[in-house]
């Protein structure tokens, strides 16, 4: 029954995604990489959320909530504000310039070398960190949920390899042969399933605690674990409250406003109105995100106590404890869709970056759209194979590697964010300033990591999110100083090339303010 419901839902998503792409001309760059610039608000919101949510977040963030409580919701609630800022200030500029990749804007604003360096940083982050980690964590979850080793009589390591290659091959088919629209449509369907399936876990969890009553379950949980509902935390927390005003907000702005794997969905909007409405819907749902990625962890703490070997066991154990058996197959299919989404989205974005920013520039500047897409697919196949080979090896890595790699992401996130912000909001800062900003940002952060992990005691240094904010400010100041001393001869002017209608959604700011107020109210309530 579990396997049948899993296969039925997964097959349904694949069929709908296939038929949705039949009318899209995928022989052009816009058709393949941006779905023909035809995505509507619902598809954009669904694809954004599924690209964001995967096993490392659903399992990992609930594990942190099991240990620390509701304070880790900052990763979700701050995302809503970052999405609003992106919708109001960044997306209009992206669509006005008609760009396909973020580095493409940097080529127009600065020069080709800046674009190449930035694309290389993006690709390095996807290849070395994101793709293998998504495959590994997703495969581990599926193997555990279906008990694959016992089901087919193999070792845990063999089961892991089988799951990695199954997920990798299916995700590659979506990303490489279906283009962005197939990815986005499958994401939007899976997003509905994820919302339903994700909300089922706290629903049945609270009913379990309250002996059939959700309201009693809430009261018992609030009284039984009051310390888990304090959002402010302390200086020793993994996400101190002070970081909300420093590096955490910057990380969110980078992720939702400049990360190619995320923003590519909004770049594919049929017009600015649909793009902004899609981002608004995504922001509102992110406010509800803690119900899926935080509350179950607290419920698991109440049920299992402080007895688990590792916090990452909290979510899968809770699922097996409270979810009725007939629904496990559906939930596994939804989780499988989330894993696929994160993998194929990063893979599709990697193909886009390679094709637009490397192949056409360095290998064949006269290549037609069909040639560019063909060689991008070749690159995607090689990249997918590399990720599938690397992912199972992560099981032999030191404990805590994933958290360490997330911290290392700051090497490229902060430098890229700083040159994009300066690029959009100034007119005469030259290309040399952007190059110095990238080198300086990467260098300073590597020095911080060197001191933290190899020279000084970790506890003696500021939180890495505070360091990222400091480096961001240093970068901005250095770039502005260079722009003052050596300004460009001509002012940069962003031209509207007419790819899509850039008339803004008239209620954008009103709804945006409402979402920000809701976020502030949540923190006030759980202070």
Cβ atoms of 133 and 56 within 8 Å: the answer is yes
Residue 396: predicted pLDDT:
61
Residue 500 domain-assigned?
no
Among the ranges given (38-52, 69-83, 208-222, 272-286), the one the predictor scored with the smallest mean pLDDT: 38-52
Task: Looking at the structure, tell me whether residues 385 and 415 fall in a common domain.
Answer: no
Across 144-156, average pLDDT: 79
Q: Residues 6 or more apart from 127 whose CB is under 8 A from it?
A: 350, 383, 386, 387
Q: How far apart are CA 217 and CA 202, in angstroms?
A: 10
Nearest CA to 435 out of 178, 79, 110, 140 is that of 110
Cβ atoms of 342 and 139 within 8 Å: the answer is no
For residues 186 and 129, the model is more confident at 129
pLDDT band at 58 (very low <50, low <70, confident <90, very high): confident
- Judge whether residue 2 has pLDDT over 70: no
Question: Which backbone phi and psi does 39 adopt, to 5 degrees?
Answer: -75, 140
Nearest CA to 97 out of 367, 508, 493 is that of 493
The mean pLDDT value of the chain amounts to: 81
pLDDT digits (tens, 9 = 90+) for 84-104: 999 999 999 888 887 777 778
Across 117-125, average pLDDT: 83
The residue from 393, 419, 439 where one domain ends is: 393
For residues 279 and 25, the model is more confident at 279
- Judge whether residue 65 has pLDDT over 70: yes
Cβ atoms of 379 and 387 within 8 Å: the answer is no
Residue 503 domain-assigned?
no
Residue 517 domain-assigned?
no
pLDDT band at 78 (very low <50, low <70, confident <90, very high): very high
pLDDT band at 105 (very low <50, low <70, confident <90, very high): confident
Residue 398: predicted pLDDT:
47
Task: Looking at the structure, tell me whether residues 293 and 429 fall in a common domain.
Answer: no
Residue 349: predicted pLDDT:
73
CA distances, 316 to each of 54, 290, 335, 434 (Å):
14, 17, 11, 45
pLDDT digits (tens, 9 = 90+) for 432-482: 999 999 999 999 999 998 888 788 777 778 889 999 999 999 999 999 999
Residue 26: predicted pLDDT:
44
- Angle, to 10 degrees, between the axis of helix 410-425 and the axis of helix 464-485? 40
Among the ranges given (78-87, 248-257, 351-360), the one the predictor scored with the smallest mean pLDDT: 351-360
Residue 499 domain-assigned?
no
Residue 422: predicted pLDDT:
94
- Judge whether residue 240 has pLDDT over 60: yes
Tally of structural domains, the chain = 2
Residue 126 domain-assigned?
yes
Residue 32: predicted pLDDT:
46
Across 209-218, average pLDDT: 92
pLDDT digits (tens, 9 = 90+) for 280-307: 999 998 998 899 989 999 999 999 988 8
Across 47-65, average pLDDT: 77
- Judge whether residue 244 has pLDDT over 80: yes
The residue from 393, 426, 458 where one domain ends is: 393
Largest CA distance in the chain: 72
Task: Looking at the structure, tell me whether residues 313 and 448 fall in a common domain.
Answer: no
Residue 89 domain-assigned?
yes
Query: In angstroms, how far is the first alpha carbon of the chain from the final one?
Result: 44
Residue 522 domain-assigned?
no
Task: Looking at the structure, tell me whether residues 376 and 437 fall in a common domain.
Answer: no
CA distances, 154 to each of 4, 140, 151, 160 (Å):
21, 14, 8, 10
Task: Looking at the structure, tell me whether residues 349 and 454 fall in a common domain.
Answer: no
Nearest CA to 346 out of 180, 108, 524 is that of 180
Task: Looking at the structure, tell me whether residues 381 and 415 fall in a common domain.
Answer: no
Cβ atoms of 516 and 84 within 8 Å: the answer is yes
Residue 20: predicted pLDDT:
54
Task: Looking at the structure, tell me whether residues 92 and 200 fall in a common domain.
Answer: yes
Residue 13: predicted pLDDT:
55
Task: Looking at the structure, tell me whether residues 301 and 439 fall in a common domain.
Answer: no
For residues 265 and 40, the model is more confident at 40
**DSSP H helices in 21-111:** 29-33, 41-52, 55-68, 74-85, 91-97, 102-109
Task: Looking at the structure, tell me whether residues 372 and 344 fall in a common domain.
Answer: yes
Nearest CA to 200 out of 331, 302, 315, 77 is that of 331
Q: How far apart are CA 407 and CA 143, in angstroms?
A: 27
Task: Looking at the structure, tell me whether residues 211 and 312 fall in a common domain.
Answer: yes
Domain with residue 329: its CATH number is 1.20.1730.10
Across 157-184, average pLDDT: 72
Q: How far apart are CA 377 and CA 176, in angstroms?
A: 6
Residue 399: predicted pLDDT:
44
Residue 363: predicted pLDDT:
78
Burial track 340-361 (b if 16+ CB lie within 10 A, e otherwise): bbbbbbbbbbbbbbbbbbbbbe
Q: To the nearest whole percent, how much of the chain has pLDDT over 70?
A: 85
pLDDT digits (tens, 9 = 90+) for 169-181: 877 776 565 554 5
Residue 31: predicted pLDDT:
44
Nearest CA to 14 out of 349, 383, 385, 344 is that of 344
Range of the domain at 440: 409-492
Task: Looking at the structure, tell me whether residues 386 and 342 fall in a common domain.
Answer: yes
pLDDT digits (tens, 9 = 90+) for 329-387: 777 777 777 777 777 777 777 777 787 777 777 777 777 767 777 777 788 888 888 88
Residue 183: predicted pLDDT:
56
Nearest CA to 228 out of 287, 294, 286, 316 is that of 294
Q: Quick one: how many helices (H) and strands (E) in the chain?
A: 26, 0
Q: To the nearest whole percent, how much of the chain has pLDDT over 90?
A: 28
Give the range with max mean pLDDT: 18-32, 99-113, 280-294, 507-521.
507-521
Residue 402 domain-assigned?
no
Task: Looking at the structure, tell me whether residues 377 and 414 fall in a common domain.
Answer: no
pLDDT band at 29 (very low <50, low <70, confident <90, very high): very low
Nearest CA to 323 out of 207, 225, 213 is that of 207
**DSSP H helices in 237-390:** 247-257, 260-267, 272-288, 290-293, 295-304, 314-322, 325-354, 369-390
CA distances, 309 to each of 150, 312, 492 (Å):
22, 9, 56
Residue 28: predicted pLDDT:
46
């Amino acid at each position: 029954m579990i396997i049948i419901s899993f296969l039925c839902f997964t097959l349904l998503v694949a069929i709908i995604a296939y038929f949705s792409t039949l009318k899209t001309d995928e022989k052009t760059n816009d058709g393949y990489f941006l779905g023909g610039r035809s995505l509507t608000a619902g598809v954009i919101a669904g694809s954004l959320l599924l690209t964001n949510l995967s096993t490392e977040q659903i399992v990992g963030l609930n594990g942190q909530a099991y240990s620390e409580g509701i304070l880790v919701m900052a990763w979700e609630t701050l995302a809503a504000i970052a999405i609003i800022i992106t919708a109001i200030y960044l997306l209009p500029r992206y669509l006005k310039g008609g760009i396909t990749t973020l580095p493409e804007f940097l080529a127009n604003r600065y020069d080709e070398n800046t674009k190449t360096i930035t694309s290389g940083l993006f690709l390095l982050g996807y290849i070395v960190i994101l793709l293998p980690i998504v495959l590994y964590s997703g495969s581990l979850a599926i193997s555990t949920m279906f008990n694959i080793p016992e089901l087919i009589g193999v070792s845990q390591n063999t089961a892991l390899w089988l799951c990695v290659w199954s997920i990798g091959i299916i995700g590659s088919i979506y990303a490489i042969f279906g283009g962005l629209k197939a990815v986005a449509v499958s994401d939007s369907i899976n997003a509905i399933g994820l919302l339903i399936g994700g909300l089922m876990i706290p629903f049945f969890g609270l009913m379990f605690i309250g002996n059939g009553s959700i309201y009693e379950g809430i009261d018992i949980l609030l009284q039984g674990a009051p310390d888990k509902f304090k959002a402010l935390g302390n200086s020793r927390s993994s996400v101190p409250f002070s970081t909300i005003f420093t590096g955490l907000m910057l990380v969110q702005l980078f992720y939702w406003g400049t990360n190619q794997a995320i923003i590519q969905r909004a770049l594919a909007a049929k017009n600015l109105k649909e793009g902004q409405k899609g981002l608004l819907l995504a922001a509102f749902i992110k406010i509800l995100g803690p119900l899926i990625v935080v509350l179950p962890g607290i419920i698991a703490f109440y049920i299992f106590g402080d007895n688990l070997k590792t916090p990452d066991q909290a979510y899968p154990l809770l699922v097996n404890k409270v979810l009725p058996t007939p629904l496990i197959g559906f939930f596994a299919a939804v989780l499988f869709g989330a894993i696929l989404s994160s993998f194929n989205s990063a893979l599709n974005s990697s193909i886009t970056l390679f094709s637009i920013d490397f192949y056409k520039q360095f290998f064949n500047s006269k290549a037609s759209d069909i040639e560019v897409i063909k060689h991008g697919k070749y690159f995607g196949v090689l990249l997918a194979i590399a990720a599938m080979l690397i992912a199972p090896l992560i099981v032999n890595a030191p404990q805590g590697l994933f958290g360490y790699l997330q911290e290392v992401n700051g090497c490229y996130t902060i430098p890229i964010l700083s040159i994009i912000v300066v690029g959009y909001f100034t007119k005469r800062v030259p290309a040399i300033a952007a190059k110095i900003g990238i080198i300086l940002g990467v260098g300073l952060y590597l020095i911080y990591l060197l001191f933290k992990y190899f020279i000084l005691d970790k506890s003696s240094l500021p939180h890495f999110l505070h360091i990222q904010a400091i480096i961001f400010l240093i970068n901005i100041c250095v770039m502005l100083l260079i722009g003052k001393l050596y300004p460009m001869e001509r002012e940069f002017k962003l031209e509207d090339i007419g790819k899509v209608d850039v008339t803004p959604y008239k209620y954008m700011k009103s709804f945006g303010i409402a979402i920000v107020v809701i976020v502030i109210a949540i923190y006030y309530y759980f202070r």
